[in-house]
Amino acid sequence: MVYDWFNRGSVPPETPADPPVDPEVQPDQASAPPPSALEPSITQPAEAQASESQSSKSEDDSLEWARQAYARLKAQKAEAAEAAKTVQADSTSEQNVAVPPVKEPPAAVVPPEAASVEPAVVAPTPPAPALSFLEQAAAQRDQRQQGLEQPAEPNPGPMVPAAAQAAPKIDQDEPSLGDFDDAFTWSAEVLAAQGRSAEQVTLEEIDWLGRLRQGMEKTRQGFVTGLLENLGDDPLTPEVLDDLESLLLRADAGVQATDQVLDALRQRMNEQVVDPSEGIRFLKEQLRDLLDEPIKASAVDVLAPQRDRLNVWLLVGVNGVGKTTTLGKLANLAVRSGYSSLIAAADTFRAAAVQQVQVWGDRSDVPVVANPSANADPAAVVFDAIGAARSKGTDLVLVDTAGRLQTKHNLMEELEKIRRVVDRLAPEAHVESLLVLDASQGQNGLKQAMAFARAAGLTGVVITKLDGTARGGVALAVASEAKLPIRFIGAGEGIRDLRPFNSFEFVEALLASR
């Protein structure tokens, strides 16, 4: 079963290979989430405050819910380990026999105009999603072997083969189930509060929420600790709001977002006495609304590659913000989620940039299109990559771009040129231009956003390095001032440290009280 991270759900198996783990439990009924200690998401509006006894009951319920989810994931892991053992035993006894069918290499169907950009070595085609990782590994090894045995073409193309002989690294990067601890219960509560049933909880999501909460620690420390200390048990006062104002500004939320949130809180306080828990609930709601506004305006809740169509995502931004790292993580996310992907190494300014991208491509077995010659034209690399993607029927082309160019070049002009090439060559493609912003740059990042927005036709933002900074509030400034939807957030250097943005989870991680 593939967990489609972009659409937040497991992709139903194409063959009935993956039986439900616990057929006894009826989803959506017996497993409906308990009223959580957290307040529910927008789709599950929280009503009236629970009484004290109710709230401790709901804590018990959510702990029980978390326990169920944990037990289920544990059973699933054990089952998967058992299945892997069986497959291993089978594959050693049946070596060189029945390798699962893999898509034909596309060489024969290359349209004439794309022929010049066809790679010298055919990079591995992702195997059918219903296969287990071990089966996929076997199939891919076999396919690579075939590729290597083919005579090299006279015209060496630009494609750099992914991960020569190694087994796909992706299975080594599987999330593991840790202890039933505070991190697990917090993550489970966040999922329950979004209306998820205990049966729907995946290890992928638990793993990410743990990383997110941990990554946001610095921002949270400054923010929540100060806020909760000031709140105490008494109703909200104007003094507490003044403190909240400085906390938001210190977290780099920006003046506009801060004013908007405080105005709403003040108005609420004028209408009624607001006790601390209601204050926090209302604050969370305001923050979510702010973050969701540009997302709603874009009419696309979660940015996912569109199926049956070429998607081209350009990653742009100044030097060092994490474009290449983000691209590597996105390639992994795409592969994990069942999309075929290809990387265009269009940062030709630094020689090391292509190698860096190649390492990321190797980690997820995603082919990289590059031009090794010095000062290659980035637009030409994109041209080659689109040609290769079209001939292979690739779902997603991820384009790495430079953050700085020689003085004679203008970065914005270069980006415009890349964009023109994409539009001309693949008018049918869905194109996203994602600005990568380093959260630790705070308000400076916002200025970059404004500059890039004009030239690069930005459609969204990726916020990186939320770990290690206390300036995570910049996400609020991006939404409120640049009015751009945040599409992904990165909170660490690891391959699983980037996921699609979800305002509910972000705000919970920002304001987690434990």
Ligand X SMILES: Nc1nc2c(ncn2[C@@H]2O[C@H](COP(=O)(O)OP(=O)(O)O)[C@@H](O)[C@H]2O)c(=O)[nH]1
Q: Which residues bind Mg ion (CB under 5 A)?
A: 323-324
Q: Which range touches ligand X (CB under 6 A), out of 32-40, 269-277, 474-482, 489-497?
A: 489-497
Nearer to ligand X, 236 or 477 (CB): 477
| Long-range pairs, 169-175, Cβ under 8 A, ≥24 | 169/362, 169/363, 169/364, 169/365, 170/133, 170/332, 170/335, 170/336, 170/363, 170/364, 170/365, 171/133, 171/134, 171/137, 173/332, 173/363, 173/495, 173/496, 175/203, 175/204, 175/206, 175/207, 175/496
List residues bridging with 498 in a β-sheet: 490
Minimum separation from the CB atom of position 495 to Mg ion (A): 16
Does 465 sit near ligand X (CB under 6 A)? yes
Q: What is each CA distance from 8 to 17, 90, 499, in whole angstroms?
A: 21, 33, 10
Minimum separation from the CB atom of position 324 to Mg ion (A): 3
**Which of residues 41, 286, 325, 394 is near ligand X by CB under 6 A?**
325
Nearer to ligand X, 378 or 490 (CB): 490
**Which of residues 491, 495, 509, 511 is near ligand X by CB under 6 A?**
491
User: How many residues of this chain interact with ligand X, rule: CB under 6 A?
Assistant: 18
**CA-closest candidate to residue 488, choices 310, 334, 376:** 334
Does 467 sit near ligand X (CB under 6 A)? yes
Q: What is each CA distance from 125 to 206, 302, 307, 358, in whole angstroms?
A: 30, 26, 17, 17
Minimum separation from the CB atom of position 324 to ligand X (A): 3
Minimum separation from the CB atom of position 501 to ligand X (A): 13
**Which of residues 188, 212, 303, 321 is near ligand X by CB under 6 A?**
321
Minimum separation from the CB atom of position 322 to Mg ion (A): 8
Does 187 sit near ligand X (CB under 6 A)? no
Element spanning 463, H or E: strand 460-464
Binds 464: which of Mg ion, ligand X, none (CB < 5-8 Å by kind):
ligand X
Q: Alpha-carbon distance 177 to 189, whole Å?
A: 16
Does 361 sit near ligand X (CB under 6 A)? no
Binds 496: which of ligand X, Mg ion, none (CB < 5-8 Å by kind):
none
Q: Which range touches ligand X (CB under 6 A), out of 5-13, 301-309, 316-324, 374-382?
A: 316-324
**Which of residues 13, 20, 178, 320 is near ligand X by CB under 6 A?**
320
Binds 232: which of ligand X, Mg ion, none (CB < 5-8 Å by kind):
none
Nearer to ligand X, 6 or 349 (CB): 349
Q: Which range touches ligand X (CB under 6 A), out of 89-97, 222-230, 365-373, 488-496?
A: 488-496
Q: Alpha-carbon distance 246 to 230, whole Å?
A: 12
Phi then psi for residue 109, to 5 deg, are -105, 15
Binds 320: which of ligand X, Mg ion, none (CB < 5-8 Å by kind):
ligand X
With beta carbons less than 8 A apart as the criterion, state whether 192 and 62 touch. Answer: yes
What lies within 8 Å, CB to CB, of 366 at 6+ separation is 162, 331, 332, 334, 335, 341, 342, 343, 360
**CA-closest candidate to residue 148, choices 118, 120, 168, 116:** 120
Minimum separation from the CB atom of position 401 to ligand X (A): 9
Binds 493: which of Mg ion, ligand X, none (CB < 5-8 Å by kind):
ligand X
Q: Which range touches ligand X (CB under 6 A), out of 45-53, 95-103, 331-339, 486-494?
A: 486-494
3-state SS, residue 366: coil
Binds 490: which of Mg ion, ligand X, none (CB < 5-8 Å by kind):
ligand X
Q: DSSP per residue over 10-24, as a string?
A: EEPPSSTTS--S-TT
Does 319 sit near ligand X (CB under 6 A)? yes
Does 441 sit near ligand X (CB under 6 A)? no
If 0-12 CB within 10 Å is exposed, 13-18 middle and 19+ buried, where does residue 78 land?
A: exposed
Nearer to ligand X, 231 or 399 (CB): 399
Residues 387-416 touching ligand X, rule: CB under 6 A, are 403
Instruction: Using the structure block, give the residue that is written with the tokens 């009236």.
Output: 48
- Report the 10 Å Cβ neighbour count for 24: 6
List of residues contacting ligand X (CB under 6 A): 317, 319-325, 403, 464-465, 467-468, 490-493, 497
